[in-house]
Amino acid sequence: MKNKVRLYDKTFKPFITNAEINEAIDRVAACINDDFRGCTDTPVLLCVLNGSIMFTAELMKRLDFNCEIVSMKLSSYVGTRSTGKVREVMGMTGSVDGKRVIIVEDIVDTGNTIEDLTRIVREKGATEVRICTLLLKPDVYKKAIKLDYVAKEIPNDFIVGFGLDYDEIGRNFKDIYVLDPEPDYHVTEHKMNYYILFGPPGAGKGTQASAMVEKYNLCHISTGALLRKEIAAGSELGLKAKSLIDAGQLVPDEVVEGMIENEFNTVKGVSGFLLDGFPRTIAQAEALDKMLDARGEGVTSVVSIMIPDEMIKERIQHRAAIEGRADDASEETINTRIRTYHEKTEPLVDFYRKAGKYVEIDGTGTIEEVRAKIFSTMDQL
């Protein structure tokens, strides 16, 4: 069992080992076998997806009477009933009509799901409904419905593993972990990576980003692209940013910092972030350090793609004809962007060199050559 696991923004510590889980399942399976020994019908085990998939498989292996398996999922949405919340069955894989049913749940807390399930299964013609759950939170269970088979009781804590998830991940752990209220951010497992893709305008940051995010499961955040989206949407922020961008100047630090923090807070399911076009000033770099520090994280590495100024112009003029970006249109704007880069952004090279996080790649080769260099550099980080 791992010492700690980190899933997205949360840290979990060991709670129930796989051996303990198996012992609990042995006990509950023995009770079910006693109750159904010699039965002449074929009872149905109803696996409630996705959480009880592992438990159902383990339980079924231990049963020594003939039984069928049917699986189903409950969807919940806000409906028109007075209760406000209505649940509906999605894709029951077989019939329970005229059958004795054992509902197999991973966890029962308030009992709302069990209440709905019992009613639905009865409506679908089951002659008897029993409930078997791997875990029960007795402190919060408020329903009168009898729980026939409970493998293990636990306190009202947030847990993951053995089928149970945190926002769909963590189900694959064979042991069960509980939320650590005092997270130790020094754990390395599942820590997010924060790569900065650095370089002058036209260096190929956007071009290389797509392959990098795919290979390393990253979320690409291009502040330039986010700002262009705001402009296209005609938002207040977009209107403010447009004149500055079209003139080749930077938008205020706090605007981009807010956008970045928003992305950090909303994006899930990735191993990290690839920041393209941020930070662009020392003040932004310091703000980023603060933001990450507050999350117990830090910049992983700065991957810098370098090309000479003449090549910047060639590439941007070539792109102007293809993409029609307003800030690519005039030579004057391109020159201002290059100047702004040297004045305000280039000092970051030293900033990250001193921090020991800076790696530079020659960006003058073909797109494929540059990509290969980036990959081999990142693989060694």
CA 295 – CA 114 distance, rounded (Å): 37
**Shortest distance, position 207 Cβ to ligand AP5, whole Å:** 3
CA 358 – CA 351 distance, rounded (Å): 9
310: CB partners within 8 A, 6+ apart:
none
**For ligand AP5, which residue of 201, 219, 287, 303 counts as binding (CB under 6 A)?**
201
217: CB partners within 8 A, 6+ apart:
270, 271, 272
Which of Mg ion, ligand AP5, none does residue 22 bind (CB under 5 to 8 Å by kind)?
Answer: none
CA 350 – CA 283 distance, rounded (Å): 14
CA 99 – CA 286 distance, rounded (Å): 65
**For ligand AP5, which residue of 111, 337, 352, 378 counts as binding (CB under 6 A)?**
337
Interactions with ligand AP5, residue window 266-285 (CB under 6 A): 277-278, 280, 284
The window from 39-47, 97-105, 131-139, 203-211 that contacts Mg ion (CB under 5 A) reads 203-211
The window from 57-65, 97-105, 185-193, 194-202 that contacts ligand AP5 (CB under 6 A) reads 194-202
Determine if 5 is a binding residue for ligand AP5 (CB under 6 A): no
Determine if 319 is a binding residue for Mg ion (CB under 5 A): no
**For ligand AP5, which residue of 164, 204, 220, 230 counts as binding (CB under 6 A)?**
204
**For ligand AP5, which residue of 137, 152, 220, 315 counts as binding (CB under 6 A)?**
315
The window from 57-65, 79-87, 118-126, 250-258 that contacts ligand AP5 (CB under 6 A) reads 250-258
**For ligand AP5, which residue of 56, 223, 300, 301 counts as binding (CB under 6 A)?**
223
* Distances from the Cα of 40 to the Cα of 11, 37, 67, 171, angstroms: 48, 9, 10, 35
CA 288 – CA 308 distance, rounded (Å): 27
Determine if 206 is a binding residue for Mg ion (CB under 5 A): yes
Contact 380, 289 (CB under 8 A): no
Which of Mg ion, ligand AP5, none does residue 201 bind (CB under 5 to 8 Å by kind)?
Answer: ligand AP5
**For ligand AP5, which residue of 119, 215, 318, 342 counts as binding (CB under 6 A)?**
318
**For ligand AP5, which residue of 130, 152, 205, 220 counts as binding (CB under 6 A)?**
205
Burial of 59 (0-12, 13-18, 19+ CB in 10 A): buried
Q: Which is nearer to ligand AP5, 107 or 227 (CB)?
A: 227
In three-state form (DSSP H/G/I as H, E/B as E, the rest C), the secondary structure along 306-371 is ECCHHHHHHHHHHHHHHHCCHHHCCHHHHHHHHHHHHHHHCHHHHHHHHCCCEEEEECCCCHHHHH
Helices (H), the chain: 18-36, 53-62, 112-123, 205-216, 223-233, 236-246, 253-266, 282-294, 309-323, 331-340, 347-354, 367-380
The window from 28-36, 76-84, 134-142, 198-206 that contacts ligand AP5 (CB under 6 A) reads 198-206
Partner residues linked to 76 by β-bridges: 87
Determine if 242 is a binding residue for ligand AP5 (CB under 6 A): no
**Shortest distance, position 242 Cβ to Mg ion, whole Å:** 17
Three-state DSSP class for residue 202: coil
Determine if 250 is a binding residue for ligand AP5 (CB under 6 A): yes
Q: Report the interface residues with ligand AP5, using CB under 6 A.
A: 199, 201-207, 222-224, 227, 244-245, 248-251, 256, 277-278, 280, 284, 315, 318-319, 327, 337, 366-367, 370
For Mg ion, the binding residues (CB under 5 A) are 206
